[in-house]
Amino acid sequence: MLKKFLPLVLAVAFGAQAVADEADIKKSMESKLGARVESVTKSGYLGLYEVFADGNIVYTDEKGTAIIVGPLIDGKTMKNVTEERMKKLTAIKFSELPLDRAIKQVRGDGKRVMATFEDPNCGYCKRLAKDLLKLENVTVYTFLLPILSEDSVRKSKQIWCSSDRAKAWNDWMVEGKAPSGREDCDTSAVSKNQEFGRKLNISGTPTMFFSDGERVPGAMPLARIEQKLGQSK
């Protein structure tokens, strides 16, 4: 009878120990990093644990004697393990985005969807805005996320208060025609986007999300956007 149940007892005990280890590592790393740790997971490499905190991945051993920062590469496949994990850990549910706080642009049948978080004074965002105009059969939701300056906040409010937000956005981002309208309408969407951006750990613009929830920080070539939109249908 004992032999029959021993494997089960050992499995439960080992599982409990693993949970305890991860909890200890979480507590220790929060103290060392000074940030909230979202998750601690065995990496499968060299006994290291993956620690996801403040939108970043670091690695440590079970005793926290070393902290490794940087990409983890699989020696056999040369695959960037950290990059693949980041895609999963930073993904969202597209359906949970507050789309009513975004500028909506529909071209063609609008079946393909994506969302961007952008600052009106971001140079890379202006380049992206020009590229996105070349897309067909797409719906683009642009969240105004002023993080660069007070002028970014003012421009975001003026664009949001415009009678045609999409036109005001493209006039500025593509044509360089600065918004000149009022900025005293209900601009709570802008401040809520700033709060939401912090919640999602968005630290730079542009940041894009596709319908499958994948996050892409920074600039992305138009051809890659087209490819991603095709994959996300």
Q: What domain count does the chain have?
A: 2
Both 111 and 151 in one domain: the answer is yes
Mark which of 33, 65, 89 sits at the end of a domain: 89
Both 101 and 170 in one domain: the answer is yes
Cβ-Cβ contacts under 8 Å for 51 (sequence gap 6 or more): 25, 26, 29, 33, 37, 39, 40, 57, 58, 59, 60
101-156: pLDDT as tens digits: 999 999 999 999 999 999 999 999 999 999 999 999 999 999 999 999 999 999 99
Both 221 and 122 in one domain: the answer is yes
pLDDT beyond 80 at 97 = yes
Both 173 and 106 in one domain: the answer is yes
Q: Residue 225 maps to which CATH number?
A: 3.40.30.10
> Per the confidence metrics, is the pTM higher than 0.85?
no
Domain limits at 222?
94-231
Amino acid at the residue 121: N
Mark which of 89, 105, 127 sits at the end of a domain: 89
Mean pLDDT of the chain: 89
Q: Residue 83 maps to which CATH number?
A: 3.10.450.70
5-30: pLDDT as tens digits: 334 333 333 344 454 588 899 999 99
Both 190 and 206 in one domain: the answer is yes
Mark which of 33, 68, 89 sits at the end of a domain: 89
Spacing of C-alpha 182 from chain mean position = 31
Both 147 and 184 in one domain: the answer is yes
Both 76 and 178 in one domain: the answer is no
Both 14 and 105 in one domain: the answer is no
